[in-house]
């Protein structure tokens, strides 16, 4: 796969609790240099990052992160605040307890509320696949398809596991044609990235791909 095509699918991500502005600025610079899809950063840095980047790069942030059990009203307020600060894309975490309780209509309503806040901006729905059964994953494919969101996303990267090839293939077989797939968490190699894309993902949430490329450049590979 063409390297630039791969990079154009990357949400260059830094969501660690200890992230500093200097570190955020570096990933912003790298995202512009390598022409990624976006930078995905904590909400507290969105305003400063957008002012720094202007129109050179899309800014993505996370809502209800990483556990997803904030109320729908709080998630909507978070999203509204992030958009007012300049966020171009929103990645929200579902209420996983609701899914375990079979409260699918409540989750559908929550996602619709977040999409209403986002309007034309991209909304990605993080379903945390490592915590769901196969049947629950399929049901979430159906809910996200019905909700009007733009993406279904595998993982936060903060739970027991990240994206798997099997889950991306499962998503591809069960989401509607209007829903794109984001694989996130544990994407360690260029081969991993290429395979996720070949299975149907159109976004990759990772910090490692650019680190690998920069390392290769530093060593003259």
Per the annotation, the verdict on 50 as an active-site residue is no
Please tell me which residue in 30, 153, 167, 192 is annotated as part of the active site: 153
Q: Closest by alpha carbon to 181, among 145, 131, 132, 221?
A: 145
Return all residues near 49 (Cβ < 8 A) that are at least 6 apart: 24, 25, 28, 39, 41, 59, 86
Q: How far is CA 66 from CA 39, 48, 135, 137, 176, in A?
A: 17, 22, 22, 18, 26
Return all residues near 143 (Cβ < 8 A) that are at least 6 apart: 104, 107, 108, 111
Per the annotation, the verdict on 91 as an active-site residue is yes
Element spanning 213, H or E: helix 208-218
Per the annotation, the verdict on 182 as an active-site residue is yes
Please tell me which residue in 50, 124, 137, 182 is annotated as part of the active site: 182
Please tell me which residue in 91, 150, 167, 192 is annotated as part of the active site: 91
Q: Closest by alpha carbon to 70, among 119, 27, 110?
A: 110
Q: Closest by alpha carbon to 116, among 158, 165, 73?
A: 73
Catalytic machinery residues: 91, 153, 182
């Amino acid at each position: 796969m063409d390297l630039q095509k791969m990079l154009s699918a990357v949400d260059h991500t830094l969501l660690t609790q200890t992230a500093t502005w200097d570190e955020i600025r570096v990933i912003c610079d790298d995202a512009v240099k390598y022409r990624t899809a976006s930078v995905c950063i904590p909400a507290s840095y969105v305003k400063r990052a957008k002012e720094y980047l202007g129109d050179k790069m899309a800014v993505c942030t996370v809502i209800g992160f990483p556990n997803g059990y904030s109320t729908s009203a709080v998630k909507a307020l978070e999203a509204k605040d992030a958009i007012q600060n300049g966020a171009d894309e929103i990645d929200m975490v579902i209420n996983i307890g609701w899914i375990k309780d079979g409260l699918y209509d409540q989750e559908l309503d929550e996602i619709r509320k977040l999409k209403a806040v986002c309007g034309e901006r991209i909304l990605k729905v993080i379903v945390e696949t490592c915590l769901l059964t196969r049947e629950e994953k399929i049901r979430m494919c159906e809910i996200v398809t019905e909700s009007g969101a733009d993406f279904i996303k595998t993982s936060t990267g903060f739970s027991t596991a990240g994206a798997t090839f099997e889950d991306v293939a499962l998503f591809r077989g069960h989401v509607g044609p209007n829903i794109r797939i984001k694989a996130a968490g544990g994407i360690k190699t260029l081969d991993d990235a290429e395979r996720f894309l070949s299975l149907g993902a159109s976004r990759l949430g990772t910090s490692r791909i650019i680190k690998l490329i920069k390392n290769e450049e530093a060593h003259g590979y």
